[in-house]
Chains A and B, each alone.
Chain A
């Protein structure tokens, strides 16, 4: 490994440590009360290094959100040979909820919503990441399903929007009002009723 590559590796590691520490601090203290010095300390870097990576708290927070929104789920890889429309939609819904609950997207949303008056740009960026761009990814899956004749051709932009709207209503909306909210025991039944609704609208005969 050359010196240059070594330096880049160290720098990437530091950046990842900063994002991890920042996420912790934001989740514990909220946006306003999170201190850059505390984040640097927890990430084990100097504040100079911290500011070299992220010039402002707003920029750092955006990076944390991006990290969460990047999602552990790669939706397109969810489709496997022989899956029914229901199988795929179920996996997509579970992936969506995993980002919200396991990756703290619910908590970050609450933080951003609280900061709308003080940090409007941050809020619109987050909305863009967690709604608009996420919908694009979901739409790619639905379009693929249409190509594979698992769903009828339809306005997939609208389809994704109402599908995620229904999921959010059932699971994310209550979580915004209650930090201790977890997925209910009948989550699967609720997801399947959303899928029933989607297939009633856009399913092909075998699925509906």
Chain B
């Protein structure tokens, strides 16, 4: 069963090159001069992203200045612009980076997981990204800039949201192949789940700065996942699959 072996964050990694910020390159010990340079560059990129994130969250998009970000990241503005050619670019990279962390928080394949276990992990990781990871606030900022920076919002939507859904759809397809989900329009199906989760995790937060995790959050997320499985699941959605030993 090749599909159960599917590395589920391939979609997120594809053409995205995780190595850029060093997440996947730490194991490499071959430190020639060029790889030394690369690791310094990766470290700087990381520092820039962290400083930029703090600035955006504190000052909003319009008032965040590239020079201040460079100063806090301890790099020259020339270096900053070498990594990110514009403020738009930088902001989009932060969103992308946050989504990559979501990918890292999830198991690398669905082998040995029930559909319910997978979707519950997903719901928890999504809530953590939006609430503790401050993605709701970043989203509010992007939406506020739609009239002045329309390109930014479109990039965030394409690189963050559309790509995350492509990944989810791939997982749903694998679960259909494994018999955990009924054959269905998986692209819309995962959006139905996303829409349910957003009702509890995202929509109220878009309209209030005070929004925080509620006591019944866990229960509500479970309800959403179980509702999704009631629509698209089969009797095996909660039954533990046997480990794939075919070696494919």
CB-CB under 8 A for A169 and B231, given A114-B143, A120-B208: no
A126 to B194, CA, bound (A): 23
Which of A112, A158, A166, A179 neighbours the largest number of chain B CB atoms within 10 Å of its CB?
A166
A16 at the interface (CB under 8 A from B): no
A170/B147 in contact, CB under 8 A: no
- Taking CB atoms, residues of chain B closer than 8 Å to A164 are 199
B170 to chain A, nearest CB (A): 18
Q: A116 near B196 (CB under 8 angstroms)?
A: no
Q: Is A113 an interface residue (CB 8 A)?
A: yes
* Stretch in A44-52, A76-84, A193-201 touching the partner: A193-201
Interchain CA distance A168-B207 in the complex, whole Å: 15
Query: B84 in the interface, Cβ–Cβ < 8 Å?
Result: no
Is B112 an interface position by the 8 A CB rule? no
- For A120, A165, A194, which residue has the most chain B Cβ atoms within 10 angstroms? A165
Q: Indicate if B198 sits at the interface (CB-CB under 8 A).
A: yes
**Total residue contacts A-B, CB cutoff 8 A:** 103
**Docked pose: A12 CA to B140 CA in angstroms:** 36
Chain B: number of interface residues, binned into ranges = 35 or more
Q: Is the CB of B208 within 8 A of A168?
A: no
How many chain A residues touch B (Cβ–Cβ < 8 Å)? Answer: 36
- B157 near A174 with CB under 8 A, answer yes
Please determine whether A113 and B140 come into contact, CB atoms closer than 8 angstroms: yes
- Comparing B30-38, B116-124, B222-230, the segment that makes contact with chain A is B222-230
Query: Provided the pairs A170-B191, A178-B150 are in contact, do residues A162 and B196 lie with their beta carbons within 8 angstroms?
Result: yes
Q: Are B198 and A165 in contact (CB under 8 A)?
A: yes
Quick check: B204 and A161 within 8 Å, CB to CB?
no
Chain B hits for A200, CB < 8 A: 230-231
| Interface-centre pick from B146, B154, B231 (highest chain A CB count, 10 A) | B146
Q: A113-B207, A167-B195 are in contact. List 8 more A-B contacts (CB 8 A).
A: A113-B143, A114-B140, A117-B209, A127-B208, A158-B223, A173-B195, A177-B143, A178-B154
**Which residues from chain A sit less than 8 Å from chain B, CB to CB?**
30, 110, 112-114, 116-117, 120, 123-124, 126-127, 131, 158, 161-162, 164-170, 173-174, 176-180, 190, 193-194, 197, 200-201
Q: Which B residues form the contact surface with A (CB < 8 A)?
A: 60, 140, 142-147, 150, 153-154, 156-157, 161, 185, 188-189, 191-192, 194-196, 198-199, 203-204, 206-210, 223-224, 227, 230-232
